[in-house]
């Protein structure tokens, strides 16, 4: 958080520094992998949409990060 003006009505600049370190990205990817594993394991897999199981609608075209592929 940084003061950007002498005017007390001006809000400070806030930079949360998301993903500023490579470990931040690795932790995020690991969390997504865990969530996908949990969503494809019984009994949760019976109530969650099929697209979470087959990877449809996730990731990028052409070999991006898709459920079960690209994060190994």
Strand spans (E) along the chain: none
One digit per residue, the tens of pLDDT, for the chain of length 72 reads 889 999 999 999 998 888 899 999 999 999 988 988 888 888 887 887 655 455 555 544 444 444 444 444
pLDDT at res. 54: 53
pLDDT at res. 42: 84
pLDDT at res. 57: 52
Distance CA 68, CA 54 (A): 8
23 close to 29: Cβ distance less than 8 angstroms? no
């Amino acid at each position: 958080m940084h003061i950007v003006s002498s005017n007390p009505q001006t809000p400070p600049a806030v930079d949360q520094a998301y993903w500023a370190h490579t470990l931040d990205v690795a932790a995020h990817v690991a969390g997504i992998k865990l969530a996908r594993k949990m969503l494809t394991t019984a009994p949760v897999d019976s109530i969650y949409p099929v697209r979470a199981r087959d990877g449809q609608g996730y990731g990028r075209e052409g070999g991006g990060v898709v459920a079960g592929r690209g994060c190994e």
